[in-house]
Amino acid sequence: MGQIELKGVTKSFGDVQVIPPLDLHIGEGEFVVFVGPSGCGKSTLLRLIAGLEDVSGGHIEIDGKDATDLPPAKRSLAMVFQSYALYPHMSVRKNIAFPLKMAKADQATIDAKIENAARILNLSDYLHRRPGQLSGGQRQRVAIGRAIVREPAAFLFDEPLSNLDAALRVNMRLEISELHQKLKTTMVYVTHDQVEAMTMADKIVVLHAGVIEQVGSPLELYRSPRNKFVAGFIGSPK
Ligand code: ADP
Ligand code: MG
């Protein structure tokens, strides 16, 4: 579960092609980080995988099945946004329950899944609170909780920590890495932060103007950057 294949995927907005034909394999259970400067196409690529944007060309396969034309809800992927996108008038419990209610799950299942997600994310004592009564880090955990209860084949994160202060960012990095170790679910994580990429990724995808410059483990990119752009971005000598 959670294998994603991009085959000749392209994306244009009007006359502007922001993603030239691109192939990428994301393996089951991998923690893959898309890294690159602002405007290089990271969010677009993630949104194409999520189905929030239509591809202009090519195919996307999820677990061996063509998902190119599937709506987001049918892709069994869960997106975690940087803006949290929580409902301010609902309790933490109701926010986490929301996707399960939409899917018409029964109450016992909903309760069990919420308890489980709250335990994993250390939110058990906060379920009655509203998002406005939580810290930034807690709000981010609620957003992740809402993704966890759906038991997706993969989690998609778009710069989830960019609104947090530096100390909290380091904490949340560790928490998300721990979550990956616990769940062993595929995670695709977008960031413009090299440190985040180097510390969290199994596999880094370096993007530059919609083009993949290099794919490899943090160590591979550090030791053998393919070009000056990768070297400069990763911060290794070349
Ligand atoms: P990143 O997430 O790496 O900062 P984006 O994927 O948001 O980059 O953007 C890649 C390019 O596509 C940018 O040039 C951006 O202006 C353009 N772009 C993104 N979304 C749209 C859109 N909805 N309409 C037009 N251009 C867009
Ligand atoms: Mg972006």
Residue 165: what pLDDT? 85
CA of 43 to the centre of ligand 1 (A): 7
User: What is the spatial distance between Cα 135 and Cα 155, in angstroms, rounded to a whole number?
Assistant: 22
Confidence of residue 194 (pLDDT cuts 50, 70, 90): very high
Of 82 and 189, the structure prediction assigns the larger pLDDT to 189
Q: Closest residue (by CA) to atom 6 of ligand 1?
A: 41
Q: What single DSSP character describes residue 224?
A: -
How high is the mean pLDDT of the chain? 93
Structure confidence by residue, pLDDT tens digits, 75-110: 999 998 766 789 999 999 999 999 899 889 999 999
CA 44 to centroid of ligand 1, rounded, Å: 6
Centre of ligand 2 from the C-alpha of residue 104, in Å: 32
What does the pLDDT read at residue 163?
A: 78
230 has pLDDT over 80: yes
The distance between the two most distant Cα atoms of the chain, rounded to a whole number of Å, is: 58
Q: Which ligand is nearest to the CA of 37?
A: 1
**84, β-bridge pairs:** none
Give the number of the ligand closest to the Cα of residue 19.
Answer: 1
Q: What residues contact residue 149 under an 8 Å CB cut-off, 6+ apart?
A: 96, 97, 99, 100, 110, 113, 114, 116, 117
**Residue 53 alpha carbon, nearest atom of ligand 1:** 23
Q: Report the pLDDT averaged over residues 212-221.
A: 97
pTM: 0.93
- Mapped onto helix, strand or coil, the DSSP state of residue 75 is coil
Q: Residue 236: its pLDDT value, please?
A: 67
Q: Residue 192's pLDDT is what?
A: 92
Q: Is the pLDDT of residue 235 over 80?
A: no
Q: What is the rounded end-to-end Cα distance, in angstroms, of the chain?
A: 38
Distance in Å, CA 118 to ligand 2 centroid: 28
